[in-house]
Structure 1
Amino acid sequence: MQSVQTVVVGAGIVGLAIAQEMARTGREVLILEAADRFGSGISSRNSEVIHAGLYYEPGSLKAQLCVEGRQRLYEWCEARGVAHRRCGKLIVATSADQAPALEGIAERAARAGVEDLAWLNATQAHALESAIACELALHSPSTGIVDSHSLMLSLLGAAEDHGAVLSCRSRVLGVGHGADGLGVSIEADGETMVLQCRELVNSAGLGAVALARKIEGLAVESLPTAWLAKGSYFTLQGRCPFSRLVYPVPNEAGLGVHLTLDLAGQGRFGPDVEWVSTEDYEVDPQRGIRFEEEIRRYWPGLPAGVLQPAYAGIRPKIAGPEEGSRDFIISGPEEHGLPGLVNLFGIESPGLTSSLAIAALVRGLLERTA
């Protein structure tokens, strides 16, 4: 039976961040990815935003890891030449009755350690972004954007520089455990094998809960329920009049239909929220009607007919439509009792921003119980 010290399941941004973190400690690391290439799921279908850490409950993993991860990510990108930009962001209240919600964001962000927010009245916001319409805004100068594919290439390269190996088209069928560690049953290119490892990190994204159900000895009743929340994006034809990101006040399911920019300056809007039962990445052009309505609340000058369907992503939710938001779940041996195992559930936004901080946390969980 073949053996390796550490197996990371899932080659998205978070999985690759964990792999390089583990590999640079001298571990022998194997990354298993069910798809035929790395980063083709959640990590390639998001807004590519580096979040400042404004929205999350102080003391939560999302708050802690976003604030820490944002700094780590900027340092990583600067050191390794990964394309990114600190463009800043405006969160806007488009009516007076949204002001308390905006004040709540500012108060929560301050308690979470975000110290650079600035209040803007309508005149000041308009001076920064002449096309915007709002009653009040928060300016977050440390929000940014990143080329997610370049980021993943740099993470994979760092992992491989320390000896890690990526195996695509490798699906985990089940996990057993014994005195010698964990036995991972794998199907790769039509063949099955069992690989022995001392450490297993389940960073399978949309498939993380399903994988956890295949791990022998893990109490199924302790696992969260997996929900799929689809988000569609539309791109803006023509020149975008904004140089910063623009976000409305969040709603109960997400951050609303916001404006983001790519590194070339093209505007894109989304995501919205559509609860689905299966993975479906088609964008319904009719959803653009509602997009226009939402966007015109903060950009009344949006021309008609300039939104084009772009792409869709799916958030790995662990709370359903009527359940509000849940924190990340990063469950190590101290929680579930199985040595060498870490499960990551519900790693949605701000997962990209938090990726390097998540990696450090996972390493710590495994080393503390080794």
Structure 2
Amino acid sequence: MDKVDCLVVGAGVVGLAITRALAQLGREVLVAEKHQDAGMETSSRNSEVIHAGLYYPTGSLKAHLCVEGRNSLYAYCEERHIPYRRCGKLIVATSETQLEKLAAIHAQAHANGCHEVTMLTAVQAQAMEPALSCAAALSSPGTGIIDSHAYMLALRADAENAGALFAFDSEVVGGIATADGIAVWVCDGTGQETEVLAKTLINCGGLWAPRLARSIAGLNAESIPPPYFAKGNYYSLAGPAPFSRLIYPVPETGGLGVHLTLDLAGQARFGPDVEWLDNVDEAVDYTVEPTRADKFYCAIRAYWPQLPDASLQPAYAGVRPKIAPPDGNADFLFASHGNLRYLGLYGIESPGLTASLAIAAHAAKLLSHS
């Protein structure tokens, strides 16, 4: 049986950040990733937005780690020359009936430490973005965009330079909690299984983190949340972007509404919507149906009335790894077992990318006595 100090399961952006943090602390770290490369699920299927931390309940891990992670991420991008842009965003009320919700977001942002967020009249917002239609808006200058792939490459390079090892095409298919750690079975692409004893196992399985936890005998079942899957579809805009900032509507249940984001080349894309999936067992269908765009036009024209007909094209889809049903909300969850022989990270949806460095620091602190 092979033995290792720390086994990180999952090489998404959070798994990479935690691996980097632990390796730079001198821990021996092995990463098992079932795909052939890093970040091939949720981490490469999102808006690539650096969030400011406006929406989340004050005192929650999402609020704290987003604000802390945003600052760390901007600094890391500068240090490692990762492409990014602090473009800012506007959150818009498209009718008088939404002004109360907009004011509540403004108050929440300031409670979370985002004091740079300001309220704008419709005239002020339209002076910044002439194509915009709104009753009022919030300006969040701390919001930005990032090349998430370049970011993940930098995290992996830092981790490897600190001694971490990566095993791709290697899926953890089960295990058992013991007095000495977590013994797991790792299956490679040929079907061959290897048994590994990890003094500490860190479950960064994203969408599949709860399922992985349930495959390990001896873990406290009550500490493992049920998974819920919320698919988000994105559509790209044919033609030049009408805005220089990100444009977000007032949030909707399950997500932040159909918003406009930009990539670093200036291409505009809209999404995601919220499509709840049932009975997701082994794989996710990431197909973007062209007909779903029909509902986008109405939502977008609430803040950009000049959106041309037939200008939205299917782009890509992602899935939010939620741990609360459609009518609920949940914070990030860090669940331990057996004197931190196991640390499970559950429900690491947005703002997981923004918060990733802060999540890693938090996890490393939790694991400092393991």
1:268-287 equivalence runs, <5 A: 268-277=269-278, 278=280, 279-287=284-292
8 Å Cα contact 1:23-1:29 kept in structure 2: yes
Is residue 183–residue 198 contact of structure 2 (8 Å, CA) maintained in 1?
A: yes
Greater shift in the superposed pair: 172-181 or 66-75 = 172-181
Give the alignment's Cα RMSD to 1 decimal. Answer: 1.0
Whether 2:316 is the aligned partner of 1:300: answer no
Partner of 1:327: 331
- Give the SS at the match of 2:290: coil
CA distance in 2, matches of 1:305, 1:88: 28
Task: Return the letter of the residue paired with 1:325.
Answer: N
Give CA deviations for 1:178-218 in whole Å, capped at 9, x if unaligned: 23322121111311111112111100001000001012221
Residue in 2 aligned with 1:364?
Answer: 365
Does the 8 Å contact 1:341/1:366 carry over to 2?
A: no
Name stretches of at least 5 consecutive residues in structure 2 with no aligned partner.
Answer: none
1:237 aligned partner: 238
Give ranges in structure 1 of 5+ residues lacking alignment. none
Amino acid at match of 1:317: K
Helix, strand or coil at the partner of 1:20: helix
Q: Which residue of 2 aligns with 1:103?
A: 103
Query: Which letter maps to 1:179?
Result: A
Contact 2:177–2:219 (CA under 8 A) maintained in structure 1: no
Q: Is the Cα–Cα contact under 8 Å of residues 218 and 338 in structure 1 kept in the other structure?
A: no
Q: Structure 1 CA distance, aligned partners of 2:222 and 2:334?
A: 16
Whether the aligned pair in 2 keeps the contact of 1:9 and 1:33 (CA below 8 Å) is: yes
Question: Using the alignment, how far apart are the partners of 2:103 and 2:217 within structure 1?
Answer: 47
User: What secondary structure, in the 3-state scheme, does the structure 1 residue paired with 2:367 have?
Assistant: helix
Opposite residue 305 of structure 2, the aligned amino acid is: P
Q: Deviations over 1:9-36 (max 9, x none)?
A: 1101000000000000111111110112
Residues in 1 aligned to 2:224 and 2:183: alpha-carbon distance in whole angstroms: 21
Deviations 1:208-251 (A, max 9, x none): 00001012221223321101100000000110110000000001
Instruction: Give the Cα–Cα distance (whole angstroms) in 2 for the partners of residues 223 and 28 of structure 1.
Output: 26
Contact 2:117 2:138 (8 Å CA) reproduced: yes
Return the letter of the residue paired with 2:167. Answer: S
| Secondary structure of residue in 1 paired with 2:286 | coil
**Could you list the per-position Cα deviations for residues 87-107 of structure 1 after superposition, in whole angstroms to 9, with x for gaps in the alignment?**
000000000110110111111
CA drift at 1:338: 4.7
CA distance in 2: counterparts of 1:182 and 1:158, whole angstroms = 26
Q: Distance in 2 between matches of 1:346 and 1:169?
A: 24
**CA separation in 1, counterparts of 2:307 and 2:158?**
43
**Equivalent residues of 2:210, 2:224 under 8 A apart:** yes
Q: Does the aligned pair in 1 maintain the 2:83–2:146 contact within 8 Å?
A: yes
Once residues 330 and 110 of structure 1 are traced to their aligned partners in structure 2, the CA distance between those partners, rounded to angstroms, is: 26
Q: Does 1:252 align with 2:253?
A: yes
Q: Distance in 1 between matches of 2:325 and 2:180?
A: 38
Deviations 1:337-365 (A, max 9, x none): 45321100000000000000000010111
Q: Map of 1:142-161 to 2, 5 A cutoff?
A: 142-161=142-161
Q: Give the equivalent residue in structure 2 for 1:316.
A: 321
TM-score (norm 1): 0.97
Contact 2:181 2:198 in 1 (8 A): yes
TM-score (structure 2 length as normaliser): 0.97
- Verify the 8 A CA contact 1:186 1:195 in the aligned structure 2: yes
Amino acid at match of 2:313: Q
Q: Shift in Å at residue 267 of structure 1?
A: 0.2
Look up the SS of the partner of 1:286 in the other structure.
Answer: helix
Please tell me the residue identity of whatever aligns with 1:56. Answer: Y
Deviation at 1:126, TM superposition (A): 0.4
Aligned partner of 2:125 in structure 1 is 125
The equivalent of 2:4 in structure 1 is 4
Structure 1: distance between partners of 2:324 and 2:59: 19
Which residues in structure 2 correspond to 1:112-261 (within 5 Å)?
112-189=112-189, 190-261=191-262
Cα deviation code 1:112-171 (max 9, x no counterpart): 111101111011100100100001000000000000100100000000010111111111
Q: Percent identity?
A: 54
* Aligned residue pairs, count: 365
Q: Is the 8 A contact 2:183 2:197 kept in 1?
A: yes
